[in-house]
A and B are shown apart, each in its own frame.
Chain A
Amino acid sequence: YVLTQPPSVSVAPGQTARITCGGDNIGSKRVHWYQQKPGQAPVLVVYADRDRPSGIPERFSGFNSGNTATLTISRVEAGDEADYYCQVWDSNTDLWVFGGGTTLTVL
C-alpha cells in the first residue's frame, strides 16, 4: 500500500499550509500524522484522522476522505518547519505504512 505525499510545501508565516497524503481508498483507514524536526524523533500531531494529542496546538487539524488525507496547519509559524509523515495500517500486507514525507518550509 503506497502513501503519496508531495516532497515539499512552502508557505509564508501566518498563512495556511496543507499537506496531502494520497492512497487508494485511504478514507476507509485511520490516518496519523507525525512532525519530525531535524535531528529529532517524530512527534505525533494528529491521530485517527483528526484528533490532536494533548499539547498539540489547535492550529493543527486533519481530514480524511476518499483517496486523500490532509494535514492542515493554520497560522503557520517558523517553528512549524519540519518534515511531516502520514501513516496508516494496510490490511492486505499487515503492515504499518508511512508516507514518504513532506518538508514544510516557512518562507
Chain B
Amino acid sequence: QVQLQESGPGLVKPSETLSLTCTVSGGSIDNYYWSWIRQPPGKGLEWIGNIYYSGSTTYNPSLKSRVTISIDTSKNHFSLKLTSVNAADTAVYYCARMPSYSPYTNNWFDPWGQGTLVSVYS
C-alpha cells in the first residue's frame, strides 16, 4: 500500500524559507492530487495546498503569497516551500494523497504521512 514520508529541517529561523519533501512509496504519484496540511501544537488542522501530478496547484488563500508546491514525478516526490516564516508557522506538517474522482473538490485526504515538526525560532 502507498506510504508517504515527510523530510526536511526541523528548525527554521524567522524570515527564512521552510522546505519539506514528501516521498511516495508503494505506488505511483501519477493520477492523484497531493496535499500539504499543517497542525500547530495543540491545535487543529489547516490545509496548505494541493498539486496534481501534472503540476497544477491550488493554495490556501491565506498562505498563497508565501507558498509554492512542486512535484517531481521521476522521483515520486513532491515538495513544499513556505517563505518568510514566523513563529505562527511552527507546526507539524503532513503530506497526504487526494484521489482524483470528479469533482475533485468533493475528495478527501488518504493516506497521510506521519508528519514532521517544524519549529520557527531564532
Residues on A lying within 8 angstroms of B by beta carbon are 30, 32, 34, 40-44, 47-48, 53, 85, 87, 89, 91, 93-101
Tell me whether A95 and B114 are in contact (CB under 8 A).
no
CB–CB A91/B113 < 8 A: no
State the Cβ distance, A31 to closest chain B Cβ, in Å.
9
Whether A42 pairs with B47 at a CB distance below 8 angstroms is no
Which A residues lie within 8 Å of B121 (CB)?
A: none
**Additional A-B contacts beyond A42-B94, A95-B61 (18; CB < 8 A):** A30-B106, A32-B109, A34-B45, A40-B114, A43-B110, A44-B108, A44-B109, A47-B110, A87-B45, A87-B109, A93-B61, A94-B58, A94-B61, A95-B60, A96-B35, A98-B45, A99-B44, A101-B44
Could you mark each residue 96-122 of chain B with 1 if its beta carbon is under 8 Å from any beta carbon of chain A, else 0?
000000000111111111110000000
> Does B30 interact with chain A (Cβ within 8 Å)?
no
Asked if B46 is at the interface (CB within 8 A of a chain A CB), the reply is: yes
Q: Roughly how many angstroms separate A91 CA and B47 CA in the complex, as a whole number? A: 14
Q: Categorize the interface residue count of chain B.
A: 20 to 34
- Chain B proximity of A83: nearest CB distance (Å): 9
Are B108 and A32 in contact (CB-based, < 8 A)?
A: yes
B94→A41 contact, CB < 8 A: yes
Which residue in A34, A40, A98, A101 is a CB contact (below 8 Å) of B47?
A98
